[in-house]
Chain A
């Protein structure tokens, strides 16, 4: 069929055969090893420092201006900053009321904060559990923090895997989009345990520069 472009042919074929529509990675970001990257380009780096110092200086550098950030646990700080960078890049605002689902995953769950909380209750002679720490002893609280800032009342899930699982995540997100449960999905991996951390978040949309599939996700991760 020389008179039909490959893209057009693929589109017509999908429509005729009722195949699932393709989705795309519109933008992505990484936070790891004291650096922040947006779409593969470095936006912040802070030499050698611990996570707390690094994430605080990244917050200031990115002019995040959200005082509640300082009350969050480390997992929420990591997820929030990565999500905020992406959503601001996509010009998302709380006023827009967009239907953006949030699907996050990691390996360590909220273990980093669970340990901190456990330390506060292990001595029965000095038993003063902190409510402010306790509320973060679930991994999906970080989704709540993102949703609160952007007023997202959307579908959300947090999965625990041994490793980044693009097969499961891409199926799940495609399903959300295919069934119109969401217009876009903010998805990815956000993991922290002690000083080991990594965030890789991306936005899946109907259009974008990178096809949303497991190969591309593995490569980007």
Chain B
């Protein structure tokens, strides 16, 4: 029996019109529409497009939760083995809709999902680690290649075939590394890479470093005498016994601890659980990492207004960038609500 594939497309590719039809509400047809016709042809005998779900790009973008739910219901109605969305090329709203419905269908229906986008489509950054996004040209002029690559990858996924690295398969890296044995050992490969680099030749790293965003600096504190300042730390100083069981490395959580009334972090009440540095000094006096004692003194002297009643701490060793960003975002929102004016963050 052939595998069942459902396609998701927008109002434009369904032949309904451009912006004037972009508020089209979701509906489904029991047949391939638009690019799904070519997909159906390319899938050959092994798989069949059993239905197409259509939704206007503006409708999806402006009602994302309702649109997601309704499209998912329509897709589910076909009990597909795989979902193909788009391709969206460089269309931003369409890219977000394709990525969002792919991730949702993958998570809830447990099926593989494939879409296609141009590398600058914002959908790539948002969804490339949660679905397969095939690299396409920036416009529908690249439709032929896009559909060919999408169906080739889809058939592999349907048949459970082993995938080669993302770059060779033609989709955006999902941030997944797989273990396998090389013929040559690491030392030889590293030296080969270094020699290529010295010669100015292209070389491919085996461990890509994450790229970090930069942000515009926040405005400075104007009235320090009335400012509330919070202490945050990735140095792993927590109340003795680590009540929230924060991991010693690769942290997946942070703690928020009341320090009101505490003038000094003594080793009787606080300790360091950080797994990435020698904790001897920090365990003799946790203030060398989380400086509550001197901050309290400066507060009493009136150098600044108030030391915020809570500290936030985690361990910053082996902690994933995604988790660290999430901690920061949550802590920032909490501090904003509390009316804190500035943060001193210590790291080891």
Do A and B form a real pair? no
